[in-house]
Amino acid sequence: MASKFNPPQYLPSTPRTELYFPQNPKPFISPPTTLIPDPKLVINGGSTLSGHVTISGSKNSALPILAATLCCSGFSKLKNVPCLSDTTTMASILESLGARVTSFGGDIVVNTDGIVSLEPDSSDIGKIRGGFFVLGPLLARFGEAIVGLPGGCDIGARPVDLYIHGLRALGATVELRWVTHFVASRSLQTLQY
């Protein structure tokens, strides 16, 4: 037995203006919100504050400066270097090249007279992003370098192409070899730094 389909009538046959434009519209009331006060420090009292605050060193400054010690021979002393795993790893990278690194009380002394390798330990380079900073100083001082791909980046892709373009603009030949290392060498022109 066949049934007859009768679609419902959603609109009345004769439009009524009050259906579309009611004479007394209901006001819109936003849902209640909880006001969260801005976090702030309130100090009550009539006395002047005084004292001393020790500011720690910056990791993002210490890593390139540690790499820059490779630009010159002899001793370099850095003060107020934070004691973090990244700065310890950078010290290991310098030691894998033959530098002697001594740290005491927030100061680090780097002696780069004993550099015997132009290829830092790839496992250490892969631990931190800043390990790649040794490429430029090695190239500037010794004319060549073999550096593994940087690691240590949990915030997403951060390419190193700006470093590579900069070295090429200075006249260096930089290429990716073995899919794991950047090899850089000076061209016949001397790098100016």
* Residue 2: C-alpha distances to residues 7, 18, 53, 193 (Å): 16, 39, 89, 91
The pLDDT tens digits for 135-191 are: 989 998 998 888 888 876 666 666 778 888 888 888 888 888 876 677 777 764 554
* CATH number for the domain running over 59-186: 3.65.10.10
Is 83 a residue of the active site? Answer: no
Cα gap 77→154, rounded to integer Å? 31
pLDDT exceeds 60 at position 19: no
Contact 112, 140 (CB under 8 A): no
Spatial contact of 70 and 141, defined as CB atoms under 8 Å apart: yes
Question: What ranges do the domains of the chain cover?
Answer: 59-186
Name the least confident of 14-28, 104-118, 132-146: 14-28
Is the entire prediction scored with pTM above 0.85? no
Tokens of 193: 């730094």
What is the per-residue pLDDT for 86?
A: 92
- Residue 119 near residue 156 (C-beta atoms within 8 A): no
Q: How many CB atoms are located within 10 Å of the residue 92 CB?
A: 18
**Residues 6 or more apart whose Cβ sits within 8 Å of residue 164:** 174, 182
Q: Which of 22-26, 73-77, 133-137 has the highest mean pLDDT?
A: 73-77
71, 72, 83, 153: the catalytic one is 153
